[in-house]
Amino acid sequence: MQSPVLVLKDSLTRESGSKVHHANIQASKAVADIIRTTLGPRSMLKMLLDAQGGIVVTNDGNSILRELDIAHPAAKSMIELSRTQDEEVGDGTTSVIVLAGEMLHVAEAFIDKKYHPTVICRAYNKALEDALAVLDKISMSIDVNDRSMMLSLVKSCIGTKFTSQFGDLIADLALDATTTVGVDLGQGIREVDIKKYIKVEKIPGGQLEDSKVLKGVMFNKDVVVPGKMKRKIVNPRIILLDCPLEYKKGENQTNAELVREEDWAVLLKMEEEYIENLCVQILKFKPDLVITEKGLSDLACHYFSKAGVSAIRRLRKTDNNRIAKACGAVIVNRPDELQESDIGTGAGLFEVKKIGDEFFSFIVDCKDPKACTVLLRGASKDLLNEVERNLQDAMSVARNILKHPKLVPGGGATELTWPYEAAAVAFEAIPRTLAQNCGVNHANGENAWTGIDGNSGEIADMKELKIWDAYNVKAQTFKTAIEAACMLLRIDDIVSGIKKRQAPGSNQPSKPTIETEGDADNEQMIPE
């Protein structure tokens, strides 16, 4: 008899066949179960300890999974799902995971019956196409300018979040912020960049009700010389720079050898004149407020305060961009290139206020701001973080609607209208979970608008309750979930174990390293 042939190294473990399918399905279900209870208006919160020992209290699917450190490869790819969903549409992170988990769970029965995974995948893809077709059929367009409609939509999307008790507040904030920064690109396309032009400033203290959207921007800076410079300017002329207003130093260590005493005075004089020139060039335009991203020397401060100009230095680049958008200024790189058109005159008021124990500069009452700041107040830091996450979701929803003004019924109603049995069972996960989180059982709905009222658990007409989902969130959710389920189903072999790399050319046999079970596990758990 032949001696057995070793293909894989001893340190590698290999699982294949149906064992892998079951393992993957179990892992994915485990991930789905973690965040299943965070779906719907009666959802629970999760409390996580992150690596730095801080705590995160949230029910945003993505935030939870981001903090988890997971060893199983299939579970890892499930987590990627919620991240994609978060980046693409910003909402529905929990639904994606729950759906994908159910898809795999349903497939398990078929695998036991010896169906080939590719057959199941094909059926799922067919179901996906039909699902999207059904979505198109039951979706309805809305008018973006109808505020009450938009409010009810954003509210139903964040009704599942912790802040739903401050209901309209967050929805109002999100709508105001997104409608402010929306830019029409023509041809009916709207570009809403919430990452770049909406800043969320969290300031502990005060009550949540004090939160508001500023018609402009604010930042955590005071004027350079608080005593001399004005802290309140009405209709300021604003100049934004991103160059230092101080004497340029040499690139590397420069030595200047002076022979005569007087030359030193000449050098200093040159520095002073250089700065004076810069200031004169700027003051020519009679600004009221000069903001630079870089440093501002004492001398320059002196010239500015003499001319009655307020100055702010070392501002973040992102903040500077926002100010430019808000008051219509252009950021200038060199003072000698200033033009009248670069000056921002769109702001109605500049003032420095003290909130808590820090100073904040406000540039507000702008005419047509294309950037804004959302000011959040609240009791504790954890609360504020959670409110901010909810606001992010709410703004994403508002942005999605501004981009695609189409709606589908919420409350699991969309998921209840299904042509296939297997896929239907999986899709029902969403309404089923909604119901479970309220503690009731339910029957099937025939009407496309029948869903579950997440607060009472009753079966109700979603049209009357104004529970909506945005069309592209739903579409993205289905696509991501089904594609992921197909991908995980197709895996039939997992080879794990860390390969030891040898330097090329060293032929001598390396000492066999004996890995205890503990080591083997630890090494895989290091997150990428």
Count the helices and strands in the chain (H runs, E runs). Answer: 17, 22
Q: Note whether 13 and 496 are within 8 A (CB).
A: yes
Closest by Cα among 408, 393, 332, 338 to 134: 408
Q: Note whether 426 and 487 are within 8 A (CB).
A: no
The residue with tokens 């104004």 is: 466
Whether residue 181 is predicted with pLDDT greater than 80 in this model: the reply is no
Whether residue 512 is predicted with pLDDT greater than 70 in this model: the reply is no
Q: Note whether 437 and 39 are within 8 A (CB).
A: yes
Higher pLDDT, 500 or 369: 369
Q: What is the mean pLDDT of residues 256-273?
A: 84
Higher pLDDT, 331 or 180: 331
Spatial neighbors of 490 by CB under 8 A, at least 6 apart, are 117, 118, 121
Closest by Cα among 237, 238, 331, 325 to 293: 331
Of the candidate ranges 84-88, 264-268, 506-510, the one whose mean pLDDT is the lowest: 506-510
Q: What is the mean pLDDT of residues 394-412?
A: 78
Spatial neighbors of 165 by CB under 8 A, at least 6 apart, are none
Measure CA 241 to chain center.
29
Q: Note whether 398 and 473 are within 8 A (CB).
A: no
Instruction: Find the catalytic residue in 58, 60, 292, 480.
Output: 60
334-350 tens-digit pLDDT? 888 888 888 888 888 88
Residue 94 annotated to the active site: yes
Which pTM was predicted? 0.70
The residue length of the chain stands at: 528
Q: What is the mean pLDDT of residues 173-181?
A: 80
Q: Categorize the per-residue pLDDT at 521 as very low, low, confident or very high, splitting at 50, 70 and 90.
A: very low
- The pLDDT assigned to 528 comes to 47
- Sheet with 358-364, strands from edge to edge, namely 217-219, 358-364, 349-355, 232-234
Q: What is the mean pLDDT of residues 510-514?
A: 47
182-224 tens-digit pLDDT? 776 666 666 777 777 888 888 888 787 788 888 888 888 888 8
92-102 tens-digit pLDDT? 788 888 888 88
Residue 382 annotated to the active site: no
- C-alpha pair distances (Å), 322 with each of 309, 359, 521: 21, 19, 47
Distance between CA 263 and CA 269 in Å, rounded?
Answer: 10
Q: What is the mean pLDDT of residues 286-291?
A: 88
- C-alpha pair distances (Å), 130 with each of 415, 424, 432, 482, 487: 12, 12, 21, 12, 19
| 48 strand-pairing partners | 56
Instruction: Find the catalytic residue in 38, 58, 93, 477.
Output: 93
Which tokens go with 333?
Answer: 């790189």
Closest by Cα among 324, 282, 323, 320 to 300: 282
- The pLDDT assigned to 254 comes to 76
- The pLDDT assigned to 187 comes to 64
Whether residue 523 is predicted with pLDDT greater than 60 in this model: the reply is no
Q: What is the mean pLDDT of residues 314-324?
A: 86
Whether residue 505 is predicted with pLDDT greater than 70 in this model: the reply is no
The amino acid that residue 522 corresponds to is N
Instruction: Find the catalytic residue in 38, 94, 180, 292.
Output: 94
Q: Note whether 277 and 329 are within 8 A (CB).
A: no
Distance between CA 442 and CA 456 in Å, rounded?
Answer: 12
Residue 145, Cβ density class (10 Å: 0-12 exposed, 13-18 middle, ≥19 buried): exposed
Q: What is the mean pLDDT of residues 328-332?
A: 86
- Phi/psi zone of residue 364: left (φ > 0), alpha (ψ -120 to 50 degrees), beta? beta
The amino acid that residue 12 corresponds to is L
Q: What is the mean pLDDT of residues 109-135?
A: 84
Of the candidate ranges 88-92, 126-130, 317-321, the one whose mean pLDDT is the lowest: 88-92
Whether residue 177 is predicted with pLDDT greater than 50 in this model: the reply is yes
Which 3 state secondary structure label does DSSP give 210? helix
Q: Categorize the per-residue pLDDT at 518 as very low, low, confident or very high, splitting at 50, 70 and 90.
A: very low
Inter-axis angle of helices 93-112 and 117-138, to 10 degrees?
A: 140
Inter-axis angle of helices 167-181 and 381-403, to 10 degrees?
A: 50
Of the candidate ranges 3-7, 84-88, 192-196, the one whose mean pLDDT is the lowest: 3-7
Instruction: Find the catalytic residue in 91, 342, 393, 453.
Output: 393
Closest by Cα among 336, 363, 357, 139 to 243: 336
Higher pLDDT, 39 or 420: 39
Furthest CA-CA distance within the chain: 101
Residue 465: CB atoms within 10 A of its CB come to 19
Give me the DSSP letters along 205-239: BS-GGG-EE-SSEEES---SSTTTS-SEEES--EE
Mean pLDDT of the chain: 78
- With residue 381 as reference, give the H or E element that holds it: helix 381-403
Of the candidate ranges 60-69, 121-130, 155-164, 390-399, the one whose mean pLDDT is the lowest: 155-164
- The pLDDT assigned to 164 comes to 57
Whether residue 143 is predicted with pLDDT greater than 70 in this model: the reply is yes
